[in-house]
Amino acid sequence: MKKVLVLGAGLVTRPLVRYLLDQPDFHVTVASRTVSKAEALVAGHPKGTALALLADNKEKLAKLISEHDLAISLLPAPLHPVVAELCIKHRKQMTTTSYVGPAMAALDRPARDAGVMILNEIGVDPGIDHMSAMRVIDDVRARGGRVSSFKSYCGGLPAPEANDNPWGYKFSWSPRAVCTAGKNAAKFRENGKKVEVPGPELFACNHRMNIEGVGELEAYPNRDSLGYLDVYGLRDVDTMFRGTFRYIGWCDTLKKVVDLGMLDETPTTYPAGTTYAQYMSRFLTSKSSGDVRKAIAKQCGLDVASPVLDRFEWLGLFSDEPITITGKETTPLDILGARMERMMAYKPGERDMIVLCHFFAAEFDSAPNERITSTMIDYGQPNGDSSMARTVSLPAAIGAKMILTGEIMMPGVHIPVVKEIYNPVLDELATMDIRCVEKTELLK
C-alpha cells in the first residue's frame, strides 16, 4: 500500500484526494491547519486519514513526511521548499502545482543525489499549459519544422451566465493569491525585442482578444516568459509571450488598486469600527473631509463616473459599513481580499470556466508554414467541483500516481515538459473531458 501525504485542504484539493482514494493500492493522509476541512475531504473513506497540522510545526511535518511515500504540497508557495528539503532528507517523492522559484531550483542537485523526484508546475497554469504546448512544439520539430512565435494565455473566469458582477470575476481560489499575482513584474519577447514590465505597470500592459466560444477578453503578461525559452527549446523564437485572461475592465480596475496601495502587505493598525470609507481614505495622499469617491477619483485621475469607481462602490469600499478585519497585524491587502471573498463568491449552482489558448507560428523548409491554435475551454460542474479545482489538482494527482507506480522516475527538480510526463497526463485528462482542441491553418 503506497502512502500519500496531501498537505493542505484548500479550494482545489477535493478532486485530487478523491482521485487518489480511488486508486486500488493508495492510502491518503490529508493534513490541514483546520482538521474539519481535511475530514470533509476524506469523508470517512477507509483508506483515508485526516490530521491537524500547522505548517510551521517542522518536527511534526518531518515525521509525517517520513511515514509516507510521496508528499503533495498544496500549501502556500513559500512553504514548498521547506517540504522539499524534508522530502530529500527522508528520500520521499513530491509534487506541487506551483512555479519553481530560486529556493526550489537550488534543491535540484540534492534531490538528484537522494534519488528524489520533485515534480512542480503540474496544475493548469502552470501545468496543462506547459504540457499541451510541448506536445505541439515537439510535433512541429518531429515534422522538420521550427516554432517561430509562441503566445500562450490562460484565465480562470466565471462562466458567461455567472458573470454578473461589475468586476467580471469570482473566486474559485485564494483572493490573496489572485491579488498578489498582480504585483509580479513581467518579461517577454515580441518581434525579436525583449520587453520588461515592472510590477506597478503590469495591468497597464494589456490588450484585447476575441476568443471563439467565449467572446472578447483582455490579457496581461504572466511573469517571466523568457524563463521558458530554454525550457521549451525556443531560444531563437521571435515572439514568446505568456499571458493571463480576464473579462474587460479588470486591468483598468486593478491598475488603480495597485496605484492606490491596496495590495500593500505592511501590517497596519485598524481600530474596531473602522469603516470601508475610512479604509479607502488612508490611501489618499492629501487629506479630504469630503466625499471619498470624489477624492479617490481626483487622486487616480478618473472621472467621478468612471466604471472603475463603480466597481469600488459595488464592493462597498466607499460605505460606512465596518471592516471585518481589525487589529495591529492587519494589512490593506487582508481587508481587500476578505471583502472580495465575501462579495465575489460563486453562488450555489454557478459554474466557473478555464480558458487556455496557445498560438503558434511554425515554419517549414519543404512544406507550407502553419498557424496552429490549441484551445481548452473547461467548465465547472454545477454544485460540484469547480473547473479550477479539477484542472489544478487532477494533473498533480496523475503525476503523483505515475511516480508511485514507477511509470516515471526522474530524480531532481522537474516540470512536466518531457514526453514521458506530458503524454500520459494529457491522455488521462482527456478521459475526464479535460482536453485541448488543436486547429492548423496552412499558410501560403
Backbone torsions φ then ψ of 316, nearest 5 degrees: 85, 15
Determine the 3-state secondary structure of 2 from DSSP: strand
Do 104 and 215 fall into the same domain? no
Whether residue 370 lies inside any domain: the answer is: yes
Placement of cell 482521485 in the chain? 19
Provide the residue-wise pLDDT of the chain in tens; the chain has 444 residues.
999 999 999 989 999 999 999 999 999 999 999 999 999 999 999 999 999 999 889 999 999 999 999 999 999 899 999 999 999 999 999 999 999 999 999 999 999 999 999 999 999 999 999 999 999 999 999 999 999 999 999 999 999 999 999 999 998 767 888 888 878 999 999 999 999 999 999 999 999 999 999 999 999 999 999 999 999 999 999 999 999 999 999 999 999 999 999 999 999 999 999 999 999 999 999 877 789 999 999 999 999 999 999 999 999 999 999 998 877 789 999 999 999 999 999 999 999 999 999 999 999 999 999 999 999 999 999 999 999 999 999 999 999 999 999 999 999 999 999 999 999 999 999 999 999 999 999 997
Give CA–CA dist 136/151, Å, rounded. Answer: 13
DSSP-assigned letters across all residues of 42-87: HTT-TTEEEEE--TT-HHHHHHHHHTSSEEEE-S-GGGHHHHHHHH
pTM for this prediction: 0.94
Do 206 and 276 fall into the same domain? no
Rg (alpha carbons) of the chain, rounded to whole number = 23
Q: How far out from the chain centre does Cα 36 lie?
A: 25
Angle among Cα 199, 203, 207 to the nearest 5 degrees reads 135
Do 44 and 186 fall into the same domain? no
Do 44 and 15 fall into the same domain? yes
| Residues designated as active site | 125
* Structural domain harbouring 187: 128-250+348-384+435-443
Locate 144 and state its grid cell.
522538420
Do 45 and 154 fall into the same domain? no
**Domain C-terminal end among 98, 119, 140:** 119
Whether residue 398 lies inside any domain: the answer is: no
**Domain C-terminal end among 82, 101, 119:** 119
Whether residue 407 lies inside any domain: the answer is: no
List of E strands, 18-173:
26-32, 48-52, 70-73, 93-96, 117-119, 146-158
Do 104 and 132 fall into the same domain? no
Which helix (H) or strand (E) element contains residue 169? none
CATH assignment of the domain containing 92? 3.40.50.720
CB 304 within 8 A of CB 294: yes
Burial of residue 158 (CB within 10 Å: 0-12, 13-18, 19+) is buried
Whether residue 341 lies inside any domain: the answer is: no
List of E strands, 285-347:
327-330
Q: Which of 207, 202, 195 is CA-nearest to residue 179?
A: 202
Give CA–CA dist 167/37, Å, rounded. Answer: 29
Residue 7: count of CB within 10 angstroms of its CB: 24
Whether residue 422 lies inside any domain: the answer is: no
Do 363 and 235 fall into the same domain? yes
Give CA–CA dist 70/23, Å, rounded. Answer: 14
280-294 b/e (C-beta count within 10 Å ≥ 16 → b)? bbebeeeeeeeebbe
Give CA–CA dist 291/312, Å, rounded. Answer: 14
Whether residue 427 lies inside any domain: the answer is: no
Determine the 3-state secondary structure of 215 from DSSP: strand
Locate 185 and state its grid cell.
513584474
Do 243 and 364 fall into the same domain? yes
Do 54 and 103 fall into the same domain? yes
Determine the 3-state secondary structure of 207 from DSSP: strand
In the DSSP assignment, the letter for residue 265 is: -
Do 360 and 217 fall into the same domain? yes
Do 355 and 281 fall into the same domain? no
**Domain C-terminal end among 80, 96, 119:** 119
Do 372 and 313 fall into the same domain? no
CATH assignment of the domain containing 375? 3.30.360.10
Give CA–CA dist 85/91, Å, rounded. Answer: 10
Tally of domains within the chain: 3
H helices of 143-208, in order, are 175-181
Give CA–CA dist 332/282, Å, rounded. Answer: 10
Whether residue 212 lies inside any domain: the answer is: yes
